Structure 1
Amino acid sequence: MRYSWGFIFFIFLFSCDSDGTNRNPYLQEVNFRFELDLNLPLYNSLNNIGNPIYVGNNGVGTRGVFVIKSGLDSFFAFEASCPNHAPNNCSTMTLDGQNVICSCEDYTYNLFTGQQLNRPDDGNRYYDLLFYNASQSGNIITISN
């Protein structure tokens, strides 16, 4: 009987959900779904690898989304608001080639990895770009959270 209780305790211990995701405290969880038609001239540059676009439509992310084609059939989508402070008047980042720059602190992020390229070494916690789901079906790219 003693081993039964130990076994039950062991099962409960490892069956508990421990959500390892560490979401950004500055950016809210925004639920949205947006489709990009690669046949439209506005999104035509996404037909080539490494040509990012900014989608600033209302209801798409917090401050919009950056989308980049990362491979033959793969796309990445990232939040356009700087991940290292609350959204404000300077937090919408701008494209600089395959990187984006936050004008508040001049932080630079890579759109292929989402990582901050010029992370200060001051002991504070810094966040990488907030990632959104991007899937392709034919000529339609669906971005969602």
Structure 2
Amino acid sequence: MRILLWVGLLASGLLAACSSGTDTSSTIPSVPVNVQLDLRDQQNQALRFDNGVVTLPPTGLNGGGVKGIYVVRRNATTYFAFERNCPYQPYNTCATVTLDRSSHLFFRDSCCTSQFDLNGTVSGGPATRSLRQYAVSMSGSLLTITN
């Protein structure tokens, strides 16, 4: 009887450990993001055209995201900003999204082969979450990206 009790306790402990629901390996770390871009700056000229993309490197404390940020212009009044850290196994050192310009523009992670459209939505691969999106506001020619 005592052995059955121990076996039951051990089995329920293992089941609880397997179904904890808090998988930190699939959560992109949270870092502060506060970046400003001047659309008149020559470095940001791609953002003067629809579907233009600019890559921002991670900048440390006031940040440019975990692995950097992509800024995408959809049209003259709509801009998106996405984290470059892939949401699929984000702690892998190679889990960085790059811009693929082959036949049409999209983002891809060469590590896990996940693909994302220019809206940040998953379009292929093992990722089930969209790219992390940051808030973008515009005042004149100044874009501000925050979280």
TM-score strictly above 0.5 = yes
TM-superposed deviation, 1:78: 0.5
Distance 1:57 1:39 in 2: 22
% identical aligned pairs: 29
Q: TM-score, normalised by structure 2?
A: 0.73
- 1:33 alignment partner in structure 2: 34
Q: Which has the higher contact order (CA 8 A, sep 6+)?
A: 1
Check if 1:105 corresponds to 2:147.
no
The residue type paired with residue 132 of structure 1 is Y
Cα RMSD (Å) of the superposition? 1.8
Greater than 4 Å deviation, 4+ residue runs? none
Greater CA deviation, 82-91 or 132-141? Answer: 82-91
2: CA distance between counterparts of 1:103 and 1:35? 29
Q: CA deviation at 1:119?
A: 4.2
AA paired with 1:60? G
Amino acid at match of 1:115: T
Seen in structure 2, the aligned counterparts of structure 1 residues 80 and 88 have a Cα distance that, compared at 3 Å, is: same
Q: Distance in 2 between matches of 1:127 and 1:32?
A: 20
Matched, 1:96 2:103: no
Structure 2 residues without counterparts, runs of 5 or longer: 1-24
Q: Structure 1 residue 85 and structure 2 residue 86: aligned?
A: no
Report the count of equivalent residues. 117
* 1:114 partnered with 2:120: yes
Determine the C-alpha separation between the residues in 1 that align with 2:100 and 2:54. 11
Gaps of 5+ in 1: 1-23
Counterpart of 2:142 in structure 1: which amino acid? I
CA distance in 1, matches of 2:47, 2:115: 21
